[in-house]
Amino acid sequence: MSGHQPALRRVLTFWPLLFYGLGVIVGAGIYVAIGTVIARAGDAAPVAFLIAGITAAMTGLCYAELASRFPEASGSVAYVRHGCGSQALAGLTGLLVTTTVAISAASIARGSISYLAILLPWPPEVLLPLLIVGCTAIAAYGVGESVGIAAAIGILEIGGLIVATIAGVIAAPELHFRAMLPVDLAGWSGVMAGAFIAFFAFIGFETLANLAEEAKDPHRTIPRGIVGAIAASIVLYVMVAIAAVLSDSGADRPLLDIFAGAGVWLFACVGFLAVGNGTLVQVVMLARLFYGMARNGQLPELFARVSPRTGTPLWATALAGCIVTGAAVVVSFEQLLILTNALTLAIFVLVDLALWRVQRMPASATPGFAAPRWVPPVAAVLAAGLMLADLAT
């Protein structure tokens, strides 16, 4: 690759990164997956979200240290390459991440259509491509603009969840908290099945690692953004799940069923923006992944070109939009959800093991953020265990 290619611009600070991370986590999860979690776990849905959140938090600590050590746009791919010393394994990770992000963005886009259908009576075949093309255009325009929009919508969707929580508790016929804790094996089996789906609600924190080359002081801001976004999302998810269970809303659209009359329309607007925001963030992340891989020779040089006008990798962004559109149109929502979780957990196991090796390498530089030595193996076991638990149930 020629040496005069313009570099990505370092324009991102902590607070935009924090709300950007919250925007994709919240938009990609609670607005889309909560109905399926309730269908599996029943009244114990809050426990399922807590288990999924703990699993995500352990790997989040691994990403925080690795992002501090290796602030590269290719994220997980770079971490596996550094930790395992294998270009082949790094390439496999890149393929897994590409597939996962594309499927995740497609599932998020499909989830947004369920909210948008309340607002516009257009067929999904029309709404899906329009949504993804619009997100791709914003992502190509500039990272500052796309992250700023995502952060602003993130604040709105968090406000929507707080309102839904308050409304759900007020609407509750009784406060049956004891029913939320399973008392037998069948109950815990449902919780683990629900936790596997609930894990989808936490996917997104890893996208912050792919913005390391566009962040100011990435050794500090990226780890803080990852940890802060996961912690806040765990609190939000458990609160909302408790409200949905207490209000006895249906599993088909539990958040919308909390409201009535004009409240349904207003919350549908927030839900559409929240979930559509997740599509934007995933397109940005996928484009940065392609950029980082191309710069390391794992993709054609074309995808490493940065526009001097917008400061974004236009060809990589266009490719990301095309892949997401294809997946959203072809595959059903439930299949997208299950595939996303399984592939993401497999990637997390690889990243956790990569940090485990990095921490044991001699003369390794001290990172700006360091996870305890016990975290990587525990994180790998939890991620693998969640996959196996879903197979068993």
Give the mean pLDDT per block of 10 residues along the chain (393 residues).
59 80 72 87 94 94 89 84 89 86 80 77 81 85 70 80 89 77 89 92 81 80 88 93 84 75 78 77 82 85 88 90 86 81 93 94 72 96 90 72
CATH number of the domain that 74 lies in? 1.20.1740.10
Task: Report the pLDDT value the prediction gives residue 260, as an integer from 0 to 100.
Answer: 66
Residue 7 falls inside a structural domain: no
pTM value is: 0.80
Separation of alpha carbons 297 and 275, rounded Å: 33
Q: Which domain holds residue 81?
A: 14-392
Residue 293 falls inside a structural domain: yes
Task: Report the pLDDT value the prediction gives residue 199, as an integer from 0 to 100.
Answer: 93
C-beta atoms surrounding 361 within 10 Å: 11
Residue 336 falls inside a structural domain: yes
Residue with tokens 């796309």: 146
C-beta atoms surrounding 357 within 10 Å: 14
Task: Report the pLDDT value the prediction gives residue 381, as an integer from 0 to 100.
Answer: 96
Task: Report the pLDDT value the prediction gives residue 1, as an integer from 0 to 100.
Answer: 46
* Sequence-ordered alpha helix ranges (H) in the chain: 14-28, 30-41, 45-69, 76-84, 87-119, 124-141, 143-171, 185-198, 218-246, 254-257, 262-295, 314-330, 333-358, 375-392
Residue 1 falls inside a structural domain: no
Task: Report the pLDDT value the prediction gives residue 2, as an integer from 0 to 100.
Answer: 46
Residue 94 falls inside a structural domain: yes
Tokens of 253: 């659209």
Residue with tokens 């940890």: 227
Burial class (CB in 10 A: 0-12, 13-18, 19+), 186: exposed
Domain count, the chain: 1
Residue 9 falls inside a structural domain: no
- Whether the CB-CB separation of 266 and 89 falls below 8 Å is answered with no
Residue 6 falls inside a structural domain: no
Tokens of 164: 């839904």
Tokens of 275: 């979930």
Separation of alpha carbons 352 and 74, rounded Å: 16
Task: Report the pLDDT value the prediction gives residue 140, as an integer from 0 to 100.
Answer: 85
Residue 324 falls inside a structural domain: yes
